[in-house]
């Protein structure tokens, strides 16, 4: 093979290698860019989720100061029911469970005055109304699960009333019967009957706000 032919072959091989290398580097760059974009999207979602959870926790905590005691029962008329219900509509079931659990931990174990009536401490969780607080976590996690994927006022209202109210009342009945050592009828009169109309109204209010919030957020 002549010298000129060898040079042509070498140049062709070198050019081919360079072309393949450039393509490989380009594909690698595209893959890295896509990975970076994916990480950035996930970080944005995480920040958004944490912000929503923190906001819901703040709303629930502040709502606890809107409370009206009744002379015939240790339970109070509180806005917290509406706030926890709203939390269920805005967040996913897992996020709802984590947010409301954090609320109980901060108010009960850490002793922050964010439980109903601006109170706090373990005694509140173990007192006659403690069953309501624990039931909120279960009831509104269930509401979040059954609310559906799209904002729907009628569905929200139905789920809130049918799912949450019975669970919350069962929790309140159990704690009052055990702590106060009273029968079912007395506990029912103190933990359930006086609160039914107000709780229905609060469920409707939370559903109305929840639909508006989710529609505004595009969820």
- What is the CATH classification number for the domain harbouring 58? 1.10.1760.20
Question: pTM surpassing 0.85?
Answer: no
Is 18 inside a domain boundary? no
In a domain, 195, yes or no: yes
pLDDT for residue 8 is more than 50: no
**Residue 9 resides in a domain:** no
Q: pLDDT at residue 13 above 90?
A: no
Which residue range is the domain that position 108 belongs to? Answer: 48-217
Q: Is residue 121 part of a domain?
A: yes
In a domain, 35, yes or no: no
Residue 60 covered by a domain: yes
* Helix, coil or strand: residue 174: helix
Name the residue among 166, 171, 180, 197 with its Cα closest to residue 73. 180
Half-sphere exposure of 117 (CA within 13 A, CB side): 13
> Is position 3 within any domain?
no
Answer yes or no: is 13 within a domain. Answer: no
In the chain, the percentage of residues whose pLDDT exceeds 90 is 76
CA distance linking residue 80 with residue 68, whole number of Å: 11
Total number of domains in the chain: 1
Q: Are 89 and 214 in contact (CB under 8 A)?
A: yes
With a cut of 60, say whether residue 16 has pLDDT above it: no
């Amino acid at each position: 093979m002549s010298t000129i032919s060898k040079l042509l072959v070498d140049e062709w091989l070198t050019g081919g290698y360079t072309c393949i290398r450039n393509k490989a580097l380009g594909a690698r760059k595209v893959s890295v860019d896509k990975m970076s974009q994916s990480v950035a999207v996930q970080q944005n979602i995480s920040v958004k989720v944490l912000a929503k959870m923190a906001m819901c926790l703040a709303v629930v905590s502040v709502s606890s100061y809107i409370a009206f005691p009744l002379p015939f029962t240790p339970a109070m008329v509180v806005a917290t029911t509406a706030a926890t219900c709203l939390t269920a509509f805005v967040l996913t079931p897992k996020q709802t469970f984590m947010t409301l659990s954090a609320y109980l931990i901060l108010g009960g174990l850490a002793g922050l005055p964010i439980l109903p009536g601006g109170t706090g401490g373990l005694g509140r969780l173990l007192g006659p109304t403690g069953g309501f607080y624990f039931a909120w976590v279960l009831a509104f996690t269930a509401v979040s699960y059954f609310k559906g994927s799209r904002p729907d006022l009628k569905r929200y209202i139905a789920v809130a009333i049918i799912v949450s109210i019975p669970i919350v009342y069962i929790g309140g009945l159990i704690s009052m019967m055990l702590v106060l050592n009273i029968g079912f009828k007395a506990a029912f009169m103190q933990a359930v009957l006086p609160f039914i109309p107000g709780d229905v109204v609060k469920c409707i209010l939370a559903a109305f706000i929840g639909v508006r919030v989710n529609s505004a957020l595009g969820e």
